[in-house]
Amino acid sequence: MKRLGKASSSQERGRHNAERLMKWAKETAPNAIPLNQFRRVSRSRVCEQLAIPLSTIRTNSVLKGLFEGLDAKVLLYYPQAATNSKASLASPDEIERLRLEKARLDIKLRALEHRVHVLQYLENFGIVVI
């Protein structure tokens, strides 16, 4: 692989990082992939091995997708990892209940934020509200 100089664009570096990760993922056996305490791929250790800046995972959708694929590869290799996760403990009814509660809380939050905005507006213009 060619070395990229400092003058290369961020898109070129992003493509180069994705190519290196893709090559590494194909060559690495699932049992050799470093895992974190949650039995997911340790992004920091993989990035360190491949000299990829860890911060680029959030901005490079290709890298993010490759890491998600690696997580799936590890999950297939270690099926007990899925049964140990807290997410699998929730039943479909519990998930739906939590989803509805979250929606209610989101609505309440928006209403309160609007109320604060109105009060700040009134305060900025010297209107006393009792």
pLDDT at 43: 93
- Average pLDDT value for residue range 43-60: 91
| 117 shares a domain with 80 | no
| 72 shares a domain with 111 | no
Helix (H) and strand (E) counts for the chain?
A: 6, 0
How many domains in the chain?
2
| 110 shares a domain with 84 | no
| 101 shares a domain with 82 | no
Domain of 59 in residue numbering reads as 1-89
Residue 77's pLDDT band, with cuts at 50, 70 and 90, is confident
Q: Which amino acid is at 59?
A: T
Residue 46's pLDDT band, with cuts at 50, 70 and 90, is very high
Q: Compute the distance between CA of residue 5 and CA of residue 48 in angstroms, rounded to an integer.
A: 19
| 58 shares a domain with 24 | yes
| 97 shares a domain with 69 | no
| 51 shares a domain with 5 | yes
